[in-house]
Amino acid sequence: MTTATTTTDNPDAKVEESDVTSWCVIWLDDDASTANNRIQEDHLRSMVNHLEVFQDVESCRKYIKYIQERSKADKLRLIVSGKLGRQIVPSIHKLEEIASIYVYCLDKQSHIQWTKPFFKVKAVIDSFDQLLSEMKADHKNPTKLQDSLIFDSFDKTTAHVNAQFVYFQSLIDCFLRLKYSQEDRKELLDYCKDQYKGDERNEIDDFETNYSPEHAIESYTRPSFFFRDINKAFRTKNFHKIFLFRPYIADIHHQLNQLKEKQSKNPLKVYRAQLLSKSELNHLQRCRGKLISVNSFFSTSLNKTTSQEFNNDSVTQDLERILFEIDGDPKMATTKPFANITDISCFPDESEVLFMLGSIFRLQNNPFDQDGTVWNIRMTLCSEHEHDLKDVLEQLKNEYGIGEIDYRILRKRLVSMRQYDLARQCYTRFLNELSERDAQRVELYEELAQLETQDHGDTSSVEWKRKALAFKEKNPLTCIPITTNTETTSIEEGYSVAGGHGEGENKNQLKYPVGLCIDDDDDDLNIIIADQFNHRIIQCKRGNTDGEVVAGGNGEGNELHQLSSPSDVLIDKQSNSLMICDRGNRRVVQWPRCRGTTDPKVLINDIECRGLAMDNQRNLNVFDTEKHEVRRYDIHLGGKQGVRVAGWNDKGRAINQLNYPTFIFVDRQQNLYVSDSHNDRVMRWNKGATKGVVVPGGEGNGYPGRQLSDPRGIFVDTLDTLYVAEMVNNRLTRWPQEANEGTVIVGGHGEGEKANQFNGPNGLSFDKRGRIYVVDHNNHRIQSFSLIPKIRIDEVWEEKGFTVAGGHGKGDAKNQLRKPWSFCIDDDDQKIIIADQSNDRIIQFKRGNTYGEVVAGGNGKGDRVDQLNIPSDVLIDKQSNSLLICDRGNRRVVRWPRHRGKTDPEILIDEVDCLGLAMDNEGNLYVSDGGRHEVRRYEIHLGDKKGIRVAGGNEKGDDMSQLNYPTCICIDRQQNLYVSDSKNHRVMKWEKGAIEGVVVVGGEDNEYFGIFIDPLGTLYVAELQNDCVTRWPEGAKEGTVIAGGHGEGKEANQFNGPSGLCFDKRGHLYVLDCGNHRVQRFSRKQRGLSLTGLLKETVQVVVRLINNSE
Cα distance between residue 312 and residue 349, in whole Å: 17
Neighbours of 612 (CB within 10 A): 23
pLDDT for res 2: 35
Residue 510 is predicted with a pLDDT of 96
DSSP class of residue 596?
Answer: T
The residues pairing with 274 across neighbouring beta strands, listed in sequence order, are 322
CB 1024 within 8 A of CB 1057: yes
Q: What does the alpha-carbon distance between residue 136 and residue 1100 come to, in Å, rounded to a whole number?
A: 40
Give the pairing of strands 761-766 and 772-776.
Answer: antiparallel
Could you state, in chain order, the average pLDDT of each consecutive group of 10 residues for the chain (1110 residues)? 38 38 75 65 67 88 79 71 92 83 89 88 88 72 52 61 67 76 77 62 75 88 75 72 84 92 91 82 83 87 72 57 90 87 87 91 75 82 68 55 60 75 78 68 83 81 84 53 51 79 94 94 83 96 88 95 96 91 96 84 93 89 91 84 87 91 89 93 90 79 71 88 93 86 87 90 88 94 82 85 92 94 86 95 88 94 94 91 95 91 86 94 92 95 91 93 95 92 94 93 80 89 93 89 94 94 89 96 64 37 37
Q: Provide the pLDDT for residue 317.
A: 57
Three-state SS string over 688-739 comes to CCCCCEEEEECCCECCCCCCECCEEEEEECCCCCEEEEECCCCEEEEECCCC
**Helix, strand, or coil (residue 39):** helix
Q: What is the largest CA-CA distance in the chain?
A: 113
Helix, strand, or coil (residue 465): helix
Element (H, E) at 674: strand 672-676
Tell me if residue 907 falls in helix, strand or coil: strand
How many other β-carbons are positioned within 10 Å of the β-carbon of residue 614?
23
> What is the phi-psi region of residue 914: left when phi exceeds 0, alpha when psi lies from -120 to 50, beta otherwise?
beta
Q: Residue 26's beta-bridge partner residues? A: 52, 78
What CA–CA distance (Å, rounded) separates 807 from 472? 40
- Angle formed at CA 615 by CA 612 and CA 620, multiple of 5 degrees: 45
Going by C-beta distance under 8 Å and a sequence separation of 6 or more, which residues neighbour residue 266? 330
